[in-house]
Structure 1
Amino acid sequence: MAQRFTVAPIFSNHMVLQRDKEIRVWGEGKDNDVITVSLEGQTVSVIVKEQKWMAILPSRKAGGPARLNITCEDEMVEYTDILIGDVWLAGGQSNMELQLVNSKDGKRAVEEANYPNIRIYNSLQQSFLDENALEAERNNAWHICNSSTDYDAVANITAVGYYFAKELNQELDVPIGIVGCNWGGTSASAWISKEYLEKDSDTRIYLEDYEEAMKKYASVDDYDKAREQNIVDYDRWKKISDKLYQERPDIVWGEVLEIAGECPYPEPLGPKSPFRACGLYETMLSRIVPLSLKGFIYYQGESDDHRPTTYAKLLTMLIDQWRHDFKDYELPFLFVQLPMYIPRGEVDHKHWPVIREAQMKVHKTIKNTGLAVALDLGEFNNIHPLDKESVGNRLALQALFHVYGKDINPYGPIFKSLLRQENEIVLEFNNAEDGLVLDGDEVNGFEVAGDNEVFVKATARIEADKIIVKADEIENPMHVRYQWTNFDKVSIFNKNGLPLAPFRSNEL
């Protein structure tokens, strides 16, 4: 006999419900049926309309464990060991996706993880919704962060999200839930709806990319065949490239392509591709909307470096969309500024600095945002730097300051102003009141330019909380920029141990 109603798959035993906010519980059912939702003495009844229902329970203080009961006539679904605390959505691409077990000291961290008040929910990575995907989603569930009882769940949690949750749980002593909703290699456009992307010509181009790609195929069946062939081709190519890297760890990308052939990645853009605009918004993000949340943590931008000048607009749109969908325009959005990175043998095209600048702009212009500067945490030739503990901790600092009102400074130095005097420029910074700290023998990464904005390498020196820069060939320097590069050594910090954020004075 078919069930009279269902509950959204995000609800399960061991979950965390958001404290101090209305608690939304929803699902599907038969029109005009009455659904009753109860949470520890609080009960709400609603009528199913257009086969959907949503009950809104009043807010509760942190605590638990609790039971959540949903009934319709003689049918009941019960969830147990529910905690009331703070729920954070961990979004983005591969650097948010990177599992704890694969991060620096990850195996040790997994083995030591025993935090019963941290709970984990990983949204299933599904690029299209067929019955198999829906069945897998129904069987998905929340997990307790305890490796002795659920090793795989802890091992596969987002490493950034784990360290973020661990720090908050210890500092606040409230349950923390992490909802992982991320996929490696994805543009921000994959996580935004068609309705939003269509609003602006600069973002509409992501939809046009899809439309142009689909012109290659006479039918969806033709696309499916091309996609299946790509899976075979990529598997063959990866076996060759893996062997090359194993035999010659220092081999450059160009040589790999010469030997293995052109890399057949990503898969063809089409209705089953996770990289299509709007795709993961439809198949992943919308599946957990409108769960009551405390906020978002986000690490992404690498896959939008082909259109870096559009990124500020794209990220702003994503923040607006997510806040709208989760029904709270005040939701904190804390995100990571891209670290240093360049592949071995690649020319520095200086597109990552534009992404970093866009991220800083969004932080400065959009309310309730926090930016974790990670410039110093990158690794040469590794787009997935392994020190995710520092990233998670820096996001936690942003949360403790911006969201929880702690009296701390979560920022490294940020460019404030410049003073031109003769052939030098004196730079002043926020968050450097206690002085600047040099890691290494020399101050590096600075360039200056005259009116023509042609930058040349500059020498620099630290004087307490200021930096003085100059270049002999520029008699009248007008502009300065710092670490305007994809990769370089980072050497300037404040007394908090946080790095100077990259900048260019002629743009900011």
Structure 2
Amino acid sequence: MGNPRLSFCSTFLRFTFLIILVATPSLVFGQVRLPKVFSDHMVLQRGRAIPVWGTAQPGKQISVEFGGQKIKTTTGQDGKWMVHLPQMKAGGPHLMQVSEEDKTKPVILFKDVLIGDVWLASRQSNMEWQVQQAMNAETEIKNAHYPNIRFFNVPHDKKTNVQTDVLAGSWQPIDSLTVKTASAVAYYFARELQADLKVPIGILQSTWGGTPVEAWISREQLLSSPITQRTVLQNDTVTEKHFLKDSLDLVRFWDIVYNPKNKTDKTIPNPNYNDAKWPELVMPATLKNLNLPGYEGMMWLRKTIHLPQNLFGKEVTLHFGHPEMNYSLYFNGKEIAKNVWNAKPTHHYRIPANLVKQGKNVIAVRMAFLWTGGGFNPPAEEMYLTDGTAKLSLAGGWKYRKDLEPTLPTIKNYHQFPTYLFNAMINPVIPYGINGVIWYQGENNVSAPVDYRTLFPMMINDWRIRWQQGYFPFLYVQLANYMKRQPEPSQSDWATLREAQTLALAQPNTAMATIIDLGEADNIHPKNKQEVGRRLALLAKKLVYKKAVQASGPMYQNHQIEGNQIRIKFSETGAGLATRGNGKPTGFAIAGSNQKFYWADAVIEGNTVKVSSAQVKNPVAVRYAWADNPECNLINKDGLPANPFRTDDWNAIVAK
């Protein structure tokens, strides 16, 4: 998922940049050029030959001088050239000079170049989520002074054809200014590694929120699978003109969402506005509970309340419970609040005394119903108005109208289409030397979790083939716990997607950070990115840097049926199994051959857990943390959570 407000702003910037590209003829046509991923302050990968490439006129001799070495090559008929500098140890700063044999041509000079470890940080919004959006942002930003950590942020871009350069960008050392918009997960990962290794760390960030794994895979690989082949071929009619129209529609879309149209904000909130002919619905309720199938757009709601004389002229507090995130609140015609993408736990507002009238008072709400969401989430008792003593419920009948403002344009979201992000945001930085990849994605593939078993390894192999660096390390984050907690064991697409992520550990040189304990039920972007970055760094320390650290929580190894109980054996137990909070293990469910699961009693015995239930006399299967948002507490004594698992192979896909 992404932040649409940021996307709205970045769309204007991309349009401006494209206009400049079209309007300004190239001043260096025919001269030596390098992709934008080469810039001042860059970090180059230590311990391996360093690829440097670019373009110039065909047949020209190109020299690259760096670290006391001078390498020459000649451009091909296509004007392309590449050299591989000898491997170097960590350090710097260095200068890199690139020039043509023609001494009249300008020399390209890159300053403050460091040698260290470069990590590609990629995927959707939980990797893209910025330091300024995450936990303890103010303190983290204030204390950010790490000149040996550098970021290159690939700007959002999508293309139908493979590109050789990114839209823009340059390497930036981390300080209190540049850290604000850096990936929080990648920054905390880099900070942890840099403090331990004492070498420069470069983060090559290529992320876009709300995107499926298919968007990041090459066309050739996608055509090799029946899962994606048909879709890829169907999209061959899409052109850059479609992108432009969709981008313009996106601007209109968010303009309508954020800015009231048809002067509705001047008329609808007025207490004297006549809403007698408006239909009525009962709140709290969400779109799925209302008789508005598939509606997407701006909704106006009004509720008339009658206040007793003892509240006249007194300041009161309006408690709104859990409304949809994008809304404006009016009280007797006065705008009280405008909430834009603020997923705070509760929404309550002070109503000034001068607005509070005896008798009739009108509450009006302008709300965006987007992506099958909208309305007020229960419970009803959290919607009320109070002076601190008495409460007046705001639940019950509300008048509504959904046709007072322009219809939201249909957005195609081409950035979610197969291969378009690979073309524009991954291929242009290949084969820049990297030490490995950190990856955090999966939310946008939850609707087809079994397909992820094929698509995720496909992407890993696709990138490794194209980088030609062998089985470079690929570290990734498993989906966090999210959404409403279910009272009984149930089916879960989120659990099935996590299982697909676990299965990807069969790929060589991979490791997975489990964060089933870090999620938030009502927030798909949990704020504790520090711990996510730390757990990825633990994996890197063990897998890549061969340090003696416990990097993973307990992993299911095997099981044995022992009468009316099942014994689960774990690996990665470290100093031993434990529970967070030192209570009994929770999150285990057990079933017999009828495939009906019941919550189970669980007891830790050494590196095993015995699982049983009085309701299951002949158990055959156990599941742990198998839910969207499981209540689970099994850890090792290093504090790392056990990975969700199941011992059965029964169909676990939620019926659509």
TM-score, structure 1 as length reference: 0.89
In 2 relative to 1, CA 85–336 (structure 1 residues): closer, same or farther, beyond 3 Å?
same
* 1:286-305 matches, cutoff 5 A: 286-305=427-446
**In the alignment, which residue of structure 1 is the partner of 2:69?**
42
**In the alignment, which residue of structure 1 is the partner of 2:118?**
87
SS of equivalent to 2:110 = strand
* 1:209-220 matches, cutoff 5 A: 210=235
**In the alignment, which residue of structure 2 is the partner of 1:175?**
200
Provide the rounded CA distance (Å) in 2 between the counterparts of 1:103 and 1:19: 31
Provide the rounded CA distance (Å) in 1 between the counterparts of 2:575 and 2:520: 29
Provide the rounded CA distance (Å) in 1 between the counterparts of 2:539 and 2:618: 39
**In the alignment, which residue of structure 2 is the partner of 1:450?**
592
* 1:253-332 matches, cutoff 5 A: 253-255=373-375, 267-269=411-413, 273-332=414-473
1:43 is displaced (CA, Å) by 1.0
In 2 relative to 1, CA 328–507 (structure 1 residues): closer, same or farther, beyond 3 Å?
farther
In 2 relative to 1, CA 224–480 (structure 1 residues): closer, same or farther, beyond 3 Å?
same
In 2 relative to 1, CA 199–392 (structure 1 residues): closer, same or farther, beyond 3 Å?
same
**In the alignment, which residue of structure 1 is the partner of 2:361?**
none
SS of equivalent to 2:508 = coil
Provide the rounded CA distance (Å) in 2 between the counterparts of 1:174 and 1:223: 42
**In the alignment, which residue of structure 2 is the partner of 1:199?**
224
SS of equivalent to 2:500 = helix
Question: Contact between 1:414 and 1:501, CA under 8 Å: does it hold in 2?
Answer: yes
SS of equivalent to 1:201 = coil
2:257 matches 1:237: yes
Query: Residue deviations 1:379-413, cap 9 Å, x none?
Result: 11100001001000000000000000001120111
Provide the rounded CA distance (Å) in 1 between the counterparts of 2:527 and 2:409: 23
**In the alignment, which residue of structure 2 is the partner of 1:104?**
135
**In the alignment, which residue of structure 1 is the partner of 2:368?**
none
Provide the rounded CA distance (Å) in 2 between the counterparts of 1:259 and 1:83: 60
Structure 1 residue identity aligned to 2:59: N
**In the alignment, which residue of structure 2 is the partner of 1:391?**
532
In 2 relative to 1, CA 134–315 (structure 1 residues): closer, same or farther, beyond 3 Å?
closer
Provide the rounded CA distance (Å) in 2 between the counterparts of 1:222 and 1:497: 50
**In the alignment, which residue of structure 2 is the partner of 1:57?**
85
Provide the rounded CA distance (Å) in 2 between the counterparts of 1:301 and 1:417: 26
SS of equivalent to 2:604 = strand
**In the alignment, which residue of structure 2 is the partner of 1:28?**
55
Query: Residue deviations 1:159-199, cap 9 Å, x none?
Result: 11111111111111111100101110111111111111000
In 2 relative to 1, CA 165–275 (structure 1 residues): closer, same or farther, beyond 3 Å?
same
**In the alignment, which residue of structure 1 is the partner of 2:43?**
16
**In the alignment, which residue of structure 2 is the partner of 1:369?**
510
Provide the rounded CA distance (Å) in 2 between the counterparts of 1:123 and 1:279: 14
Structure 1 residue identity aligned to 2:627: T
Provide the rounded CA distance (Å) in 2 between the counterparts of 1:461 and 1:492: 11
2:167 matches 1:137: yes
Provide the rounded CA distance (Å) in 2 between the counterparts of 1:327 and 1:457: 48
1:455 is displaced (CA, Å) by 2.2
In 2 relative to 1, CA 505–342 (structure 1 residues): closer, same or farther, beyond 3 Å?
same
In 2 relative to 1, CA 220–25 (structure 1 residues): closer, same or farther, beyond 3 Å?
closer
Provide the rounded CA distance (Å) in 1 between the counterparts of 2:484 and 2:219: 33
**In the alignment, which residue of structure 2 is the partner of 1:429?**
570
1:435 is displaced (CA, Å) by 2.7
Provide the rounded CA distance (Å) in 1 between the counterparts of 2:205 and 2:617: 53
SS of equivalent to 2:54 = strand
Provide the rounded CA distance (Å) in 2 between the counterparts of 1:329 and 1:263: 51
1:454 is displaced (CA, Å) by 3.0
Q: Which has the larger radius of gyration?
A: 2
Question: Contact between 2:122 and 2:438, CA under 8 Å: does it hold in 1?
Answer: yes
In 2 relative to 1, CA 288–501 (structure 1 residues): closer, same or farther, beyond 3 Å?
same
**In the alignment, which residue of structure 2 is the partner of 1:337?**
478
Task: Identify which range, 105-114 or 384-393, moves more after superposition.
Answer: 105-114
In 2 relative to 1, CA 112–254 (structure 1 residues): closer, same or farther, beyond 3 Å?
same
Whichever structure has more helix as a proportion of its residues is 1
Provide the rounded CA distance (Å) in 1 between the counterparts of 2:206 and 2:249: 28
Unaligned runs of 5+ in 2: 1-26, 260-297, 299-324, 329-337, 348-371, 378-399, 651-656
In 2 relative to 1, CA 266–396 (structure 1 residues): closer, same or farther, beyond 3 Å?
farther
1:228 is displaced (CA, Å) by 2.7
Structure 2 residue identity aligned to 1:231: V
1:254 is displaced (CA, Å) by 4.7
Task: Identify which range, 442-451 or 385-394, moves more after superposition.
Answer: 442-451
Question: Contact between 1:33 and 1:47, CA under 8 Å: does it hold in 2?
Answer: yes
SS of equivalent to 1:274 = helix
Which of 510, 533, 544 is the matching residue for 1:403? 544
Which of 476, 480, 498 is the matching residue for 1:356? 498
Structure 2 residue identity aligned to 1:158: S
Provide the rounded CA distance (Å) in 2 between the counterparts of 1:324 and 1:367: 13
Provide the rounded CA distance (Å) in 1 between the counterparts of 2:50 and 2:110: 15
In 2 relative to 1, CA 301–135 (structure 1 residues): closer, same or farther, beyond 3 Å?
closer
Structure 2 residue identity aligned to 1:229: D
Question: Contact between 2:589 and 2:623, CA under 8 Å: does it hold in 1?
Answer: yes
Question: Contact between 1:203 and 1:310, CA under 8 Å: does it hold in 2?
Answer: no
Question: Contact between 1:189 and 1:206, CA under 8 Å: does it hold in 2?
Answer: no
Question: Contact between 1:343 and 1:382, CA under 8 Å: does it hold in 2?
Answer: no
Provide the rounded CA distance (Å) in 1 between the counterparts of 2:484 and 2:231: 26
Equivalenced residues, count:
492
SS of equivalent to 1:473 = coil
2:615 matches 1:473: yes
**Off by >3 Å, runs of 4+ in structure 1:** 133-138, 208-212, 219-227, 237-241, 244-254, 256-266
